[in-house]
């Protein structure tokens, strides 16, 4: 089992503010999990008794709408922490967390998190900042879905995916999504997402290789995302 003190992932989240003693406590009590592609890490409506720290792998946060259709709210990767909002509010989990590829995750028990919050003000502040950032992202998504045409939402999503996941060694966005997942991100039918992607390729804005997507003309994609 890896030691939290040596884990480089902690520098990307609120755990970077922990003391060596606090990190040792987390290491002693944590559970290391492997979440296989397609499996749930968290399930909407369930209870949670700790915090998840993603060591590596990629995933999606989703919510089912009233018609039972999946809406992708956010994408997650190594360095992200999950579950802290429900843990602190003592509410049921609000989203599903599903692995897009195999993920290695550490689970830190609720008691250790709450004990550390009481004595480490910086850790508490960083958790609050993280929750505030997620709330701001949610507000932006709601505004975007309500006001932007679907083509603009697709352009913004592709730019966001490149920002979150970076590029592979061939210049493609380093995440593999089905056309249905892209449609569920931008709030449209799968057929519409396929057509829009094809049109962007035809216009030389993106390149497609199977499920992989490369942004060929970023300035034009930015213009589209802004409604030009």
The pLDDT tens digits for 52-77 are 999 999 999 999 887 778 999 999 99
Whole-number pLDDT of residue 11: 60
Q: What is the mean pLDDT of residues 22-28?
A: 87
Contact 199, 154 (CB under 8 A): no
Whole-number pLDDT of residue 133: 80
Q: What is the mean pLDDT of residues 37-64?
A: 94
Rounded Cα distance between 222 and 228, Å, is 9
Q: Quick check: 151 pLDDT over 80?
A: yes
CATH architecture of 8-121: Sandwich (2.60)
Q: Quick check: 2 pLDDT over 80?
A: no
Residue-range domain boundaries for the chain? 8-121, 146-225
Rounded Cα distance between 147 and 137, Å, is 15
SS3 content of the chain, % helix, strand, coil (to 5): 45, 25, 30
Rounded Cα distance between 221 and 225, Å, is 6
Rounded Cα distance between 13 and 78, Å, is 10
Distance of CA 63 to CAs 34, 38, 43, 56, Å? 22, 15, 9, 23
Q: Write down the residue that tokens 């003592």 correspond to.
A: 90
Whole-number pLDDT of residue 131: 83
Whole-number pLDDT of residue 14: 75
Supply the CATH classification number for the domain 146-225: 1.10.10.10
Note the pTM of the prediction, 2 decimals.
0.88
Q: What is the mean pLDDT of residues 99-119?
A: 93
Question: 177: closest CA among 190, 126, 122?
Answer: 190
Q: Quick check: 104 pLDDT over 70?
A: yes
Q: Quick check: 10 pLDDT over 60?
A: no
Whole-number pLDDT of residue 16: 83
């Amino acid at each position: 089992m890896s030691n939290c003190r040596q884990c480089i992932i902690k520098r990307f989240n609120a755990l970077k503010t922990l003391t060596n003693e606090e990190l040792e406590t987390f290491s002693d009590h944590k559970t290391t999990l492997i979440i296989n592609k397609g499996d749930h890490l968290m399930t909407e409506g369930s209870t949670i008794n700790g915090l998840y720290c993603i060591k590596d792998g990629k995933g999606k946060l989703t919510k089912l709408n009233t018609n039972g259709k999946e809406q992708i709210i956010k994408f997650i990767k190594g360095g992200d922490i999950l579950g802290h909002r429900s843990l602190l509010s003592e509410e049921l989990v609000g989203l599903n967390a599903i692995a897009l590829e195999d993920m290695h995750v550490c689970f830190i028990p609720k008691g250790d998190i709450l004990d550390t919050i009481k004595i480490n003000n910086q850790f508490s502040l960083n958790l609050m900042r993280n929750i505030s950032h997620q709330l701001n992202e949610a507000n932006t998504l709601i505004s975007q879905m309500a006001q932007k045409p679907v083509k603009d939402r697709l352009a913004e999503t592709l730019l966001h995916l490149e920002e979150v996941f970076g590029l592979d060694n061939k210049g493609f966005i380093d995440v593999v999504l089905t056309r249905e997942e892209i449609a569920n991100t931008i709030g449209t039918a799968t057929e519409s997402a396929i057509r829009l992607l094809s049109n962007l390729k035809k216009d030389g804005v993106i390149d497609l290789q199977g499920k992989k997507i490369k942004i060929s003309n970023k300035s034009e994609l930015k213009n589209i995302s802004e409604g030009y």
